[in-house]
Structure 1
Amino acid sequence: MTPPPVRSICCMGAGYVGGPTMAVIADHCPEIQVTVVDLNAERIAAWNAPDLTCLPVYEPGLDAVVARSRGRNLHFSTEVDAAIASADMVFLSVNTPTKTRGVGAGQASDLRWIEACTRQVAEAAQGHTIVVEKSTLPVRTAETVQTILSASQQSGDGTAKSFSVLSNPEFLAEGTAIADLESPDRVLIGGQDADALEALAGIYSQWVPSERILRTNLWSSELSKLTANAFLAQRVSSINSIAALCEATGADVKEVACAIGTDSRIGSRFLKSGPGFGGSCFQKDILNLVYLCRHYGLVEVAEYWEQVVSLNNWQQRRIAKLVVQRLFNTVAGKTIALLGFAFKADTNDTRESPAIRIAKDLLEEGAQLSIFDPKVSTEQIQRDLGVPPTDGDSSWKQATDPVLACQGADAVLILTEWNHFNSLDWKAVSSVMRRPAWLFDTRATADKQAALSAGLQVWTVGEG
């Protein structure tokens, strides 16, 4: 028997995953009413703002997708229970940060919000509801979700309710999330209820080719997300380890990456050296994988993946130490310009950004930081650094353009690969800096010859 069509979707969580994903679903499925809910009224107000430049998530192309669907079949609301009650399908797309205390602190995922959302679904749902895990979760989490839902099979008015649980992890890269959603490499759906699985597959099939929609069991789907991020992060740490060796031996990491990337067994993706990986997923998911491996007694496997994170942290500390060494072994009282604070270009997300650790290490050394990023707010930088901008010792300020950020600076660091850093007027930059002046290009994107011609000394990651 063909399962009834999905007419109403509720997504719990209006963040980097929930908002863009639901916007694209609503855009391609105008017959489905899609409601994104969140307890953060300020965030929901931003999603509903008439000015689409005020959306709480910056992603190229997102504003156009929202504009086509918002008010038609895409809605943003704080009325959580009502949205759940009317939904045929509920996506759980809330934060799952790393635990900061208790068993597994520093590695295991904190699932309190997933549990809270599941309990709210169990309470508010009506009839049969398909519950979809969209958040990145430890393998076997669906078992917990199913247990909570199964304990609430009777509604308050005595009518029966039932649930099916699916896993549908996201594989989005911030900065290209809309393109990733419009033309995904694959859509992965894990589940045991064939009707529920096909109901979700049917939604994606409206724009995704059928051969790209993969079906697995629940546990394979949950583990695939952690594994994908672990493998990608491993490549970043691997090429950064080789970059350090290139600097010591006179090799060029770009040439090495090109040489190995032409091997069809390896490929060229994620072989660009830099200040290390950031974002909300890579470190969190690897540490979660480490915790799970230790939990199941796979100590050697845990130690293997743990080293990927250790080397990433080492790369960031190495860059901060190198800046201090090149500036005569002290940066106390010196101005250092940081160009870029987001963890990557084309996003305003700073979670686990390499810039945070590097900035904190330089502040600890007594540096005065002048920070420019085209999308990250002063308030966000303050939250990340833990200190307000002041004019006192060991502090920072935010500049409104790259040249102003370099005013009086002894060094400038490129930390995010924003496109307009590729073609900076290095003569203008050099003219406002204190001599001798340094450029530390941690992304290998700057015009090195132009910077040298302007009188700057230049260090580029991975160049001997």
Structure 2
Amino acid sequence: MSLTDLVDVTVRKPEHLTVVGLGYLGATHAICMAKLGHRVVGVDVDADKVDALRRGILPFHEPGLQELLVEQLAEGRVSFTTNFDVAAEFGDVQFVCVGTPQKDGTDAADLSYVEQAFDVLAAGINRRVLIVGKSTVPVGTAELLAERVAQRSRPGIAVEVAWNPEFLREGFAVDDTLHPDRLVFGVASDWAQQRLSEVFAPVLAVGTPVIVTDLATAQLVKVAANAFLATKISFINAMAEVCEAVGADVELLATALGHDARIGSRFLEPGLGFGGGCLPKDIRAFAHRAEELGVGASVAFLREVDDINRRRRVRMVDVIRELADGDLDGKRIAALGAAFKPDSDDVRDAPALEVAWMLSLEGAHVRVYDPEATANARRICPDLDYVSSAAEALEGADVVALLTEWREFIDADPDELGRHVAQRRIVDGRNALDAERYRGAGWVHRGLGRPEAAELPELAATVV
């Protein structure tokens, strides 16, 4: 039985849900909860964003979500508003999905948006309601928010706080919401657990594991998961630094390590490193919170994880400079990619965009092309030269830099690309290209953590 079929079987009476915050997380959650059969009202202070969603226009790029938005609007199961009083009165379960960016001048998380959301909901709720945090917050935040809610709720109104962390991957958010690999319910009562079980009944009905925890553990699950993933990425990039020093191949090293079942190959992908709106700021906030709690030494390694990740961007510029005859001033560089990952238009803390900017600071003429992220990139780095196609970016280039591994770039024909450039020289910042195919087409190919020319090709060819 499919998940779509289970909607009609399991959700006999649709829940009324409120989703506060209509950014990446909130809009995705609201639309997908409607897909599960619930009645959903999404609320945000940004009138332009709300207007776009009402008209069926997704304000960011996420595969499959645009179509789902149009479908659920037509079904009448999701609506959007800027009126927080209406939103507070609507939902029996209310999800808070606002951002927790890094606070200016510190590594701490800025909790002001979360606090404001809980305060407004608490003041407007007129019956027993469950407020569920989904935002990524430092451990201890939910308990403090529960106290704030108790202080601000109307007399005689019982409002309870729970935590249900999200584990969305940009580019896969719809599937991660409708078919998660696990659900975590951080609750303080059986009633809260029951309410969350009713909301996620169609997901639970197909056998999705659920872990019921206290509030503190639920908050730690998300930051601990991000810390682990960031550590795994930075570990293999640290090995790339060693490989570059001794002439070894980090790709073959990663393949060999990945065959160990204790290690696994996922996220063991050397290259330019991680970015986006989650991993970088979350590991910094985690380390900061641990220091506040007096256990900073336990996660001190996360500072080095962050440093390794930052060094990859500098190393990318170094390799591009080497390929540009040691001097970037006046050189034409084709920057393929601006988003922090493919299938996303997110440029927050994007390694690709920072590399392009660093190249321009050294006097290079950088042309940037990204299939989806150009508008967002232009808002952050307006002085770069953005173009509308890969061919335009490549025209007359002295060096090509692959910065985001969009399928369009990976599948491109090296011979066709070579017709546009001045020099067939490419730096693969994601180790995503077929190096031998490019070298066979006359390109000088460099990857991060890989030897300049292929060695032991017969041995490499046997790796599966």
Q: Same fold (TM over 0.5)?
A: yes
Aligned to 2:27: 19
Aligned to 1:360: 357
Deviates more, 1:292-301 or 1:88-97: 292-301
Aligned to 2:153: 153
1:343 aligns with 2:343: no
Aligned to 2:422: 434
Classify the secondary structure of the residue corresponding to 2:196: helix
AA aligned to 2:447 is T
- 8 Å contact from structure 1 (residues 12, 38) kept in 2: yes
Q: State how far apart, in whole Å, the 2-side matches of 1:59 and 1:432 are.
A: 31
Aligned to 1:171: 167
- 8 Å contact from structure 2 (residues 129, 159) kept in 1: yes
- Out of 165, 185, 192, the residue aligned to residue 181 of structure 2 is 185
- Out of 193, 216, 228, the residue aligned to residue 197 of structure 1 is 193
AA aligned to 1:250 is G
Cα distance, 1:227 vs structure 2? 0.2
- Unpaired runs of at least 5, structure 2: 1-11, 452-464
The share of aligned pairs that are identical, in percent, is: 32
Classify the secondary structure of the residue corresponding to 1:70: helix
1:374 aligns with 2:355: no
Cα distance, 1:128 vs structure 2? 1.0
AA aligned to 2:96 is L
Matches within 5 A, 1:395-414: 396-414=384-402
Q: State how far apart, in whole Å, the 2-side matches of 1:356 and 1:270 are.
A: 21
Deviation per residue, 1:335-366 (Å, 9 max, x gap)? 11111111111111111111122122112111
Cα distance, 1:309 vs structure 2? 0.4
Cα distance, 1:211 vs structure 2? 5.2
- Out of 278, 293, 305, the residue aligned to residue 296 of structure 1 is 293
- 8 Å contact from structure 1 (residues 192, 217) kept in 2: yes
Matched length: 438
Cα distance, 1:186 vs structure 2? 0.3
Q: State how far apart, in whole Å, the 2-side matches of 1:43 and 1:164 are.
A: 29
Deviation per residue, 1:375-414 (Å, 9 max, x gap)? 0133x212222xx34xxxxxx2111111110111111111
- Out of 204, 223, 237, the residue aligned to residue 234 of structure 2 is 237
Aligned to 1:63: 66
AA aligned to 2:129 is T
Cα distance, 1:210 vs structure 2? 4.8
Cα distance, 1:23 vs structure 2? 1.3
Deviation per residue, 1:415-459 (Å, 9 max, x gap)? 111111112132232222223x41001112223234223332110
- Unpaired runs of at least 5, structure 1: 390-395
Cα-Cα RMSD: 1.7
- 8 Å contact from structure 1 (residues 317, 357) kept in 2: no
Aligned to 1:109: 109
- Out of 261, 265, 276, the residue aligned to residue 264 of structure 1 is 261
Q: State how far apart, in whole Å, the 2-side matches of 1:298 and 1:207 are.
A: 37
Q: Given the superposition, is the C-alpha separation of residues 252 and 298 from structure 1 closer, same or farther in structure 2, using an over 3 Å criterion? A: same
Q: State how far apart, in whole Å, the 1-side matches of 2:23 and 2:44 are.
A: 9
AA aligned to 1:440 is V
Q: State how far apart, in whole Å, the 1-side matches of 2:158 and 2:171 are.
A: 38
Aligned to 1:47: 53
Aligned to 1:100: 104
- Out of 87, 90, 95, the residue aligned to residue 86 of structure 1 is 90
Classify the secondary structure of the residue corresponding to 1:199: helix
AA aligned to 1:399 is V
Deviates more, 1:141-150 or 1:296-305: 296-305
1:457 aligns with 2:463: no
Deviation per residue, 1:321-344 (Å, 9 max, x gap)? 221133122111211111111111
Aligned to 2:410: 422
- 8 Å contact from structure 1 (residues 5, 199) kept in 2: no
Compute the TM-score of the two structures, normalised by the length of structure 1: 0.91
Matches within 5 A, 1:203-242: 203-208=199-204, 209-210=206-207, 212-242=209-239
Classify the secondary structure of the residue corresponding to 1:361: helix
Classify the secondary structure of the residue corresponding to 2:104: coil
Q: State how far apart, in whole Å, the 2-side matches of 1:38 and 1:211 are.
A: 30
Q: State how far apart, in whole Å, the 1-side matches of 2:403 and 2:100 are.
A: 27
Q: State how far apart, in whole Å, the 2-side matches of 1:196 and 1:43 are.
A: 31
AA aligned to 1:453 is G
Where does structure 1 differ by over 6 angstroms across 4 or more consecutive aligned residues? Answer: none
Cα distance, 1:268 vs structure 2? 1.3
Classify the secondary structure of the residue corresponding to 1:207: helix
Q: Given the superposition, is the C-alpha separation of residues 143 and 5 from structure 1 closer, same or farther in structure 2, using an over 3 Å criterion? A: farther
